[in-house]
Amino acid sequence: MINFQYARAMDVADAVRQIAARPNAKFIAGGTNLLDLIKENVERPSWLIDVSRLPLTQIDQTAGGGLRIGAMVPNSDLAYHPLVEQRYPLLSSATLAGASAQLRNMASVGGNLMQRTRCMYFYDTATPCNKRSPNSGCSAIEGMNRNLAILGTSGSCIATHPSDMCVALAALEARVHLKGPAGDRTLPFSDFHRLPGDTPQRDTNLDTHEIITAIELPPRGFADNYSYLKIRDRLSYAFALVSVAAALEMEGNIIGEARLALGGVAHKPWRRPDVELALRGQAANEVNFARAADLLLQDARGYSHNAFKIGLARRAIVRALSQAARRTPQSQSNKKIA
């Protein structure tokens, strides 16, 4: 374990001031990812700025009819919040598919967006990894890549983003609220995470010294026809091999509106608005769902150990869309622990 100094931020402005003033500083929220990375010698911050006590723990309705979720809301509070359960059950379901009850109690919404990849070489400092150590090489492309990406990869990195919550946020077209030394700004969720390109060390478009303050959901919640389907090696406490967030608005058996995002297959939640547009006006049946899956996966490329994900994703997309259309969402079977 490296030596580091610790300071607690008093308010959001203070957090931004402190991160800008301290050399090599990192925010710490629940610590469920960052502390592991420090223990593995992957992250070596000189300062930890504790943001866990910031007043960003509210979930409020917005004037426009959506929901604003503070960045420090614990994952479990988000999943079980009555407004989220009722109006955005896709988000509740995806959040409950992640980690374990104990971890969800500790983990914050902002930290979930910022968690790092689970590529095993990223955590193994004895091996080359462009994400951990730029220009050192990628051990996964010719190595153990079973869990890694099939879409949006580059010659520098084939890592995936491991979040479940983010897949639902992408499908729901959330916005990310940020604050930095230059002021406040918001990003569409689809612009928050990056593809690896030749800078895989950058996971997101968050600027240095910026903090996530909130996530905003639009009014449309797809509360009737949705499903979050997560395929993984174990039923719980495992990251997704492939996951699908599917949300539909139905007019009889005809699709009025569709949202579709994939997890476990790319460096960011994978979404193609043109595929969703193509589903509009179509009958909700397996032929049309399979066509959407083929379109969404048309640029997929398998590596030595993960080509199976292409067929798996295709079947998962068809199943999740069918579940959404039938109003039989995948159950996460996570009862609230009082």
Ligand X SMILES: Cc1cc2nc3c(=O)[nH]c(=O)nc-3n(C[C@H](O)[C@H](O)[C@H](O)COP(=O)(O)OP(=O)(O)OC[C@H]3O[C@@H](n4cnc5c(N)ncnc54)[C@H](O)[C@@H]3O)c2cc1C
**Site for ligand X, rule CB under 6 A:** 26-34, 51, 71, 98-99, 103, 106-108, 110-112, 114-115, 162-165, 211-212, 239
Nearer to ligand SF4 among residue 129 and residue 178 (C-beta): 129
CA 204 → CA 112, 172, 244, distances in Å? 12, 19, 21
| 48 phi/psi in degrees, rounded to 5 | -110, 125
CA Rg, the chain, in Å?
19
Q: How many residues bind ligand SF4 (CB under 6 A)?
A: 15
Interface stretch with ligand SF4, choices 9-17, 28-36, 122-130, 171-179 (CB under 6 A): 122-130
200 binds, among ligand SF4, ligand X, none (CB under 5 to 8 A by kind): ligand SF4
Contact predicate 146/247, CB 8 Å:
no
Identify whether the C-beta of residue 140 lies closer than 8 Å to the C-beta of residue 148.
yes
| Integer Cα distance of 247 and 226 in angstroms | 4
Among 47, 121, 189, 289, binds ligand SF4 (CB under 6 A): 121
| Shortest reach from residue 55's CB to ligand SF4, in Å | 35
Options 90, 113, 140, 318; binder of ligand SF4; rule CB under 6 A: 140
**In which residue are the tokens 């997704």 written?**
240
CB of 14 to ligand X, least distance (A): 13
Among 90, 94, 138, 245, binds ligand SF4 (CB under 6 A): 138
Angle in degrees, CA 77, 81, 85, rounded to 5: 125
Residue 146 CB coordination number (10 Å): 16
257, β-bridge pairs:
249
Closest distance of CB 49 from ligand X, Å: 8
User: Counting contacts by CB under 6 A, is residue 158 touching ligand SF4?
Assistant: yes
- Binding site residues, ligand SF4, CB under 6 A: 117, 119, 121-122, 129-131, 138-140, 148, 157-159, 200
